[in-house]
Amino acid sequence: MMKLSFSGLKYGERDVELKLMVDVQNDWFEVTHTKEVSQVMNKSTGKYIQVHRNTLKYEVVS
């Protein structure tokens, strides 16, 4: 089982970090970008984060 952790600074705020976990084998997820915003949505759970585009990071958790 492989999981990804997405994180970044909340769009419209400076000091608020958001995180979202995605299970690559079981979840359907989507990453979209505009000029200023990146959005990561776990479509299986309906949870999402909107962050400043230049702060989006991901990490392989397991």
Q: What is the pLDDT of residue 49?
A: 98
User: What ranges in the chain are assigned the alpha helix state H?
Assistant: none
Question: How many angstroms separate the Cα of 43 from the Cα of each of 4, 14, 20, 30, 33?
Answer: 14, 26, 12, 7, 16
| Dist. CA 11–CA 4, nearest whole Å | 21
Structure tokens at 30: 């989507």
What integer pLDDT is reported at residue 62 of this predicted model? 84
Low-confidence ranges of the chain (pLDDT < 70): none
pTM for this structure? Answer: 0.89
